[in-house]
Amino acid sequence: MQTFFPVTLSSLKTDTIIGCDIYLLVSDNGRSRYVLYCKGDTAFENEKRELLVRKNVNRLFIGKDDKQKYSEYLESNLQHILSDEKIQPEEKAQIVYGTGTTMLHDVFKEPVHRNIVRSQAFAYNMIDYILRDGRAAYNLLKITSHDYYTYTHSVNVATIGSLFARNIGLNEKDMKSFCTGMLLHDLGKTKISSSILNKKGPLTDEEFGKIKMHPETGAKILRESGSSFKDEYAVILQHHENCDGSGYPYGLKKDDIHYVARLVHIIDIYDALTTRRSYSPPQKPFDSLRLIKTEMYNSVDHAMLKSFIKFLGGHSG
């Protein structure tokens, strides 16, 4: 028996081919059933939309197996969706986060040129949205995931990092470059066994040695993909460097670490602490920040940490 997944009318652009069948849930003599409304290979015409608007219907359905196709549709129409003032801010945030998660799942599954370019397009659209919508910070921070997967973690870091970057005054060009870098900062982990990444006990020296290779591996994947990136490499290569020189892969000290990599380093730690891992439950934001301040203080940029704490405090309610 086919199962269904809800989507919203406002996310569907008129006169586009959605790529998956759209259904209505109707009640017939007390029984509910799903009725085909628009086939996936035909245009979603304005007449179809207006009929639903008149009937005050905004909740539609797709087959659960078509979630990937629907997400790809959202991704290709993201610029239009985010500029549509009729779509509620909370819904836009859900679309941004869900689209980014699905897109990055594809990137980490198959880190090739066509998927990596998708991450750049998504980053640019997300930054446009953040700069245009004053409520973006609140709505996005409210829905970041608390379950840790490499791709959800990367979306979290890019989301929080981009919002914080705006808060401290980065310009639009830099925000777009570094958002792409944040989405791809753990790209090198695609070459590490999941048995190491999800290990519940302590890592051996050999296993940790493999973990420490992922920044350089990520940069290598990016170069070999043929993608024309520049500033993004700083985030990928330096996000595990510590200000006291104890980090990896190069043991750089504060003044030699790119300021955005110092920013990402703090958020990378914060998100890892506040999300559920295979070996530890999520910590509360306050406890995570206290842990960073007391046990990792020498490894992070003090002024940036202070600004980050202030930023989170302004969006905590």
Q: What's the sign of the alpha-carbon dihedral 168, 151, 94, 227?
A: positive
Measured CA to CA, the distance from residue 235 to residue 261 in angstroms comes to 5
Sort 41 into a burial class: Cβ within 10 Å, 0-12 / 13-18 / 19+.
Answer: exposed
- Average pLDDT over all residues of the chain: 91
For 36-77, the pLDDT digits (tens) are 999 999 999 999 999 999 999 999 999 999 999 999 999 999
For 149-196, the pLDDT digits (tens) are 678 889 999 999 999 999 999 999 999 999 999 999 999 999 999 889
For 272-281, the pLDDT digits (tens) are 898 876 667 7
For 11-36, the pLDDT digits (tens) are 999 999 999 999 999 988 778 999 99
Q: Are residues 263 and 185 in the same domain?
A: yes
Q: Are residues 145 and 233 in the same domain?
A: yes
Range of the domain at 193: 77-313
For 101-115, the pLDDT digits (tens) are 999 999 999 999 999
Q: What's the sign of the alpha-carbon dihedral 223, 225, 231, 232?
A: negative
Element (H, E) at 137: helix 136-143
DSSP state letter for 11: G
Q: Are residues 141 and 167 in the same domain?
A: yes
Q: Are residues 113 and 133 in the same domain?
A: yes
> How many domains are contained in the chain?
2
Does the residue 72 lie in any domain?
no
Nearest Cα to Cα of residue 232 among 243, 222, 242, 246 = 222
Element (H, E) at 191: none
Does the residue 170 lie in any domain?
yes
Measured CA to CA, the distance from residue 169 to residue 236 in angstroms comes to 22
For 89-140, the pLDDT digits (tens) are 889 999 999 999 999 999 999 999 999 999 999 999 999 999 998 888 888 8
The more confident residue out of 303 and 227 is 303
Residue 30 confidence (pLDDT): 79
Q: Are residues 257 and 161 in the same domain?
A: yes
Is it the case that residue 317 has pLDDT exceeding 60?
Answer: no
Residue 147 confidence (pLDDT): 60
Residue 316 confidence (pLDDT): 55
Tokens encoding 27: 């009640």
Q: Are residues 19 and 152 in the same domain?
A: no
Here the CATH number for the domain that contains residue 117 is 1.10.3210.10
Tokens encoding 62: 């797709």
Residue 228 confidence (pLDDT): 78
CB 38 within 8 A of CB 18: yes
